[in-house]
Structure 1
């Protein structure tokens, strides 16, 4: 596996598109209210990936700069969203977006900020945002103790994945947010979220994660067997649930 975070998902794009969770509708309405977004707002989706969150913004009629360094993921977004005239794919990074000064009303980072939490990112966001524009850091936080299945699935990741403990976004904490947001001030807003999977869905969801061994490796095949055993143990009527808390960290930089 590449140690470069911009390349980690290149061999997982199809599973990512099909099996990653979406976001509750309340997330968009919250951003509209909290950030006073006008109907013609310009948004930069940084680390936009395959465009899961970008699509929600486009549905509201916003112009969206989808900034993504991974070409494979960006091409998946282009294939899905390229028909939107307000969709602007950009090859760039969080620290070098290539966007113009003071050109966006809102920056969003959905399931991405833990890959680029640093001073260079803060400086870049401040450069591209209009005066007093907001940054929204958003995650679907999988609840690891929601039930026995969730507990054992998390234990499987800790034991048999590659670097789950190292790259887990839950390593981002209050101190990171206080250092990132202006004057250490930010608002946290949460909503429940849920995915329901059959066996194929669970396998796809697991292998969409960059810390799970690739399917075609010996480690990946061993992981798959353990995952299938977990499904066999816990499925109810052929289904298992992933419970999430969708979290928004909102402030200025």
Structure 2
């Protein structure tokens, strides 16, 4: 989450319940690349309610120390309940990393949060904090609107009613941005589908930044239109959303 989205406190329960998770293989790959330490230090930057931690923590050695930072107190409240063993911090990822000593971290993860950051500052501070064999990982889920059908129609609705929204809002080149600071960047991706009941999808939609902006602009009309859209595409009371999960792994700061 971004500082601007801290105003959406109160939506964290819905966010945690319905947001898509990440393929576990994307986290297994990065853990296999970490330095062989009994006690690695991990930072989940922009951790939200700990959705990425659900996939990451089971892969880590038992002695790992994990820090999670987010701007939203409400998100942190849920994250602490789910993962009391994690050390939680309130604030921006960039500021938190800037406060850490150099070369003190083995893995920095930004999951669905990189887009909201001062990205140049984040990458710079992540590189400074990482040890020589550490990894900077950026992972995100994107609705595959290119698949057409329900996913494309939902993007049409957001572009119509959410001010300044574009389905291409994450079209910046993550590999290129990481490559300006790191000497090696690898991308991995996975295609998959999330099946939700209509009510679950409406709940997920209502917890998103883009939907909140649409609701602020047009009121309950937006969620009514979401329900109408679901009714046209549901099968047995459920809708399917195709996703592309992308992970970028950057190593060896220049």
Using the TM superposition, name which of 157-166 and 209-218 deviates more. Answer: 209-218
Structure 2 unaligned residues grouped into runs of 5+: none
Checking the alignment, whether the CA contact within 8 Å between 1:13 and 1:73 is kept in structure 2 is: yes
Q: CA deviation at 1:213?
A: 2.9
Q: How does 1:150-169 map to 2 (within 5 A)?
A: 150-165=151-166, 168-169=169-170
Q: CA deviation at 1:120?
A: 2.0
Which position in structure 1 is the counterpart of 2:89? 90
Q: CA deviation at 1:214?
A: 6.4
Which position in structure 2 is the counterpart of 1:43? 42
Q: How does 1:66-81 map to 2 (within 5 A)?
A: 66-81=68-83
Aligned pair count reads 246
Q: CA deviation at 1:215?
A: 9.0
Checking the alignment, whether the CA contact within 8 Å between 2:28 and 2:56 is kept in structure 1 is: no
Which position in structure 2 is the counterpart of 1:192? 191
Checking the alignment, whether the CA contact within 8 Å between 1:102 and 1:131 is kept in structure 2 is: yes
Q: CA deviation at 1:178?
A: 3.3
Q: CA deviation at 1:160?
A: 1.0
Question: Hey, what's the Cα distance between the residues in 2 that align with 1:193 and 1:42?
Answer: 30
Checking the alignment, whether the CA contact within 8 Å between 1:212 and 1:220 is kept in structure 2 is: no
SS in 2 for 1:145: helix
Which position in structure 1 is the counterpart of 2:57? 58
Question: Hey, what's the Cα distance between the residues in 2 that align with 1:38 and 1:99?
Answer: 20
SS in 1 for 2:212: coil
Q: CA deviation at 1:194?
A: 2.2
TM-score by length of 2: 0.87
Checking the alignment, whether the CA contact within 8 Å between 1:114 and 1:169 is kept in structure 2 is: yes
Q: Structure 1 pair 132/200, CA: closer, same or farther in 2 (3 Å)?
A: same
Checking the alignment, whether the CA contact within 8 Å between 2:163 and 2:217 is kept in structure 1 is: no
TM-score by length of 1: 0.87
Q: Could you report, residue by residue, the CA deviation over 1:130-158 in whole angstroms, capped at 9, with x for unpaired residues?
A: 12311010001110122311111110111
Q: Structure 1 pair 121/39, CA: closer, same or farther in 2 (3 Å)?
A: same
Q: Structure 1 pair 209/200, CA: closer, same or farther in 2 (3 Å)?
A: same
Question: Hey, what's the Cα distance between the residues in 1 that align with 2:66 and 2:110?
Answer: 12
Q: Structure 1 pair 174/104, CA: closer, same or farther in 2 (3 Å)?
A: closer
Checking the alignment, whether the CA contact within 8 Å between 1:141 and 1:245 is kept in structure 2 is: yes
Which position in structure 2 is the counterpart of 1:233? 232
Checking the alignment, whether the CA contact within 8 Å between 2:94 and 2:118 is kept in structure 1 is: no
